[in-house]
Amino acid sequence: MQHEPGQFRADRHPSESYEDILIRDTRMIPDHLRQGPTRDLGDEGVPVTNYFAADFFAKEVRHVWLKVWQWACRDEDISNPGDVFVYENVGKSVIVARQKDGSVKAFYNSCLHRGRKLVDGPGNKHDLRCKYHGLAWTCDGRFKHNPIAWDFPQFDRQDMSLPEIKVDSWGGFIFINFDAAAAPLMDTLNVLAEHFDRYDFANRYKAAHVSKIVPCNWKVMAEAFMESHHTVATHPQLAPFLGDVNSQYDILSDHVTRQFTATGVISPMLSDRKMTDLDILKAMEAAGGSHVSGGQSSKDGVAKKANSARDTPDAPTSLEEGVTARMHACEVTRTALSAEDGWDYSDVSDAEIIDALLYNVFPHMNFWAGYAPNVVYRWRPNGLDPDTSIMDVIILKRVPKDGPRPAPVTEHRLGLDETWSSSPMLGALGPVFEQDMANLPHVQTGLRSSGTGVVHFALYSEMRIRWMHKMIGQMIAQGEATSGI
């Protein structure tokens, strides 16, 4: 199904489309932002037990998480030979290690003697030495030393190299896959890599990284950031300048979906409210400069401590004739970005400057397209607990055109009692996340107390959520057919 500019889709909100908004923009729009393909996914519900049942979660672990590509860290997290990073998910711990030749290897983080983790956290290692009994491996996985080798004759008869995990990279991100037979990473990233080529993610640095354990299933977490129509109820302060139900949703491949939401336009849900363009700009100022879609803070809300150029300045007292709030916000942002990093943004499209351009990579990654500071999300189970999950939020900023590459920040893991707002790295993002997090524990407990046993999704605005569940079900079915379990 293709959407032509100026025409309404029968299965979407009967207001102007995102592409209709693009038509009025001041710069040429790249083709990849146009309406993409959708699929007929039916209207069946999903059993609530898929969010908490131990047997279903075990199937997800076996047939999904142990088969998919997962973002583990950034290149800059292990920039020097001997640097190591520990990535953990669904009970597995992985060592990601930079080699002497600059390549990257990944190993199961487990001593081949008694199983103790070889690496407890990030750092630089001369070798991977177990703190329990002292057995050691080189950083390329070769067996190096056993202080009581005389008592282990069996080690002489077997390969004692650390078992490796498949590893690959794209855009400055390092990915791992537990399935040795997995298809190449680029088969998963597919069209996303093509669309993001113009944004040069490898030439960005990590300006913020905040994570937190949240009391909900990982899918509940992911779903909160895969649609925009909850803005009016959950984030009412954003509706005066966010085209929430105008959002565009596309399914680009099995693994890549996306949604685009316009900033600087009033939500159609507030059609009865008379607002001028100056009113829209004032609302943006009052919200702290965070342009947000569906509870997901856009690049604008980065805290000043992260040196963002996207904080909205004081709203003007007047606008030139023909200048809209969206046009004004774009020009201000172009100027601020250029002043901060030295790059020329004069020809960059309005959409790529201020809109929420979200690409999801199944099952747990979300990358924001565009030229301003990019937000990246990651969701994953908290170990083997189906009722809790971990969310990571990072913000990537462009390396200055005529300056050294800034050092990346280290991850700030919030405690259970700490709020997102308490992190100085998030600034105006924090309060918006708090509004989302206020829903999620109640979604998890509500699912367990369901009287129907089923949840339902909207046909258009929640198609990405529906597709995620379709992919999970498909991978489980294929895995069971192949393995018999």
- The rounded distance, in Å, linking the Cα atoms of 349 and 371 is 9
Cis peptide before 363 (omega within 30 of 0): yes
Q: 485: pLDDT confidence band, cut at 50, 70 and 90?
A: confident
- The rounded distance, in Å, linking the Cα atoms of 346 and 331 is 9
pLDDT score of 100 more than 90: yes
Q: 317: pLDDT confidence band, cut at 50, 70 and 90?
A: confident
Task: Look at the chain and count its residues.
Answer: 485
- The rounded distance, in Å, linking the Cα atoms of 452 and 254 is 30
Return the SS3 of 343. coil
Distance of CA 250 to the CA centre of its chain: 17
Closest Cα partner for 188 from 479, 477, 471?
Answer: 471
* Confidence at residue 416, expressed as pLDDT on a 0 to 100 scale: 85
Q: 273: pLDDT confidence band, cut at 50, 70 and 90?
A: confident
For the ranges 184-198, 308-322, 419-433, the lowest mean pLDDT is seen at 308-322
- The rounded distance, in Å, linking the Cα atoms of 38 and 467 is 10
Query: Cβ contacts of residue 344 below 8 Å, gap of 6+?
Result: 338
- Torsion of the alpha carbons at 299, 301, 305 and 309, rounded to the nearest 10: 60
| Model pLDDT for residues 27-73, shown as the tens digit of each residue | 999 999 998 888 889 999 999 999 999 999 999 999 999 999 999 99
- Element housing 149 (H / E): none
* Confidence at residue 313, expressed as pLDDT on a 0 to 100 scale: 54
In order of their start, the domains of the chain are 18-44+202-473 (3.90.380), 70-177 (2.102.10.10)
Q: Which residue has the higher pLDDT, 269 or 1?
A: 269
From start to end of 399-463, where are the E strands? 412-414, 454-455
- The rounded distance, in Å, linking the Cα atoms of 432 and 437 is 9
* Confidence at residue 40, expressed as pLDDT on a 0 to 100 scale: 87
| Model pLDDT for residues 177-234, shown as the tens digit of each residue | 999 999 999 999 999 999 999 999 999 999 999 999 999 999 999 999 999 999 999 9
- The rounded distance, in Å, linking the Cα atoms of 355 and 345 is 15
- Structure tokens belonging to residue 380: 């994953």
Strand-pair category, 143-145 with 136-137 = antiparallel
- The rounded distance, in Å, linking the Cα atoms of 45 and 43 is 7
| Model pLDDT for residues 142-175, shown as the tens digit of each residue | 999 999 999 999 999 999 999 999 999 999 999 9
- Structure tokens belonging to residue 469: 């569940």
Sheet of 70-74, strand order? 70-74, 173-177, 164-170, 104-108, 92-98, 83-89, 123-124
- The rounded distance, in Å, linking the Cα atoms of 317 and 278 is 7
- The rounded distance, in Å, linking the Cα atoms of 96 and 118 is 12
* Confidence at residue 159, expressed as pLDDT on a 0 to 100 scale: 96
**DSSP 8-state secondary structure symbol assigned to residue 39:** -
| Model pLDDT for residues 319-374, shown as the tens digit of each residue | 999 999 999 999 999 999 999 999 999 999 999 999 999 999 999 999 999 998 99
Strand-pair category, 204-214 with 412-414 = parallel
Secondary structure of 207-266 in HEC code, one letter for each residue: EEEEEEEECCCHHHHHHCCCCCCCHHHHCCCCHHHEEEEEEEEEECCCCEEEEEEEECCC
Buried b (16+ CB within 10 A) or exposed e, 271-309: eeeeeebebbbbbbbebbbbbbbbbbbbbbbbbeebebb
pLDDT score of 278 more than 50: yes
Share of the chain above pLDDT 70, in %: 92
Q: 289: pLDDT confidence band, cut at 50, 70 and 90?
A: low
Q: Give the pLDDT mean for 99-120.
A: 98
Contact 145, 154 (CB under 8 A): no
Quickly list H helices, 106-216. 185-189, 191-196
Contact 260, 357 (CB under 8 A): yes
Task: Return mean pLDDT, the chain.
Answer: 91
- The rounded distance, in Å, linking the Cα atoms of 103 and 75 is 10
- The rounded distance, in Å, linking the Cα atoms of 247 and 332 is 23
Q: 483: pLDDT confidence band, cut at 50, 70 and 90?
A: confident
Distance of CA 32 to the CA centre of its chain: 20
Residue corresponding to tokens 């007047």: 318
- The rounded distance, in Å, linking the Cα atoms of 268 and 247 is 11
* Confidence at residue 14, expressed as pLDDT on a 0 to 100 scale: 81
Buried b (16+ CB within 10 A) or exposed e, 438-471: ebbeebbeebeeeeeeebebeebbbbbbbbbbbb
* Confidence at residue 307, expressed as pLDDT on a 0 to 100 scale: 32
Share of the chain above pLDDT 90, in %: 84
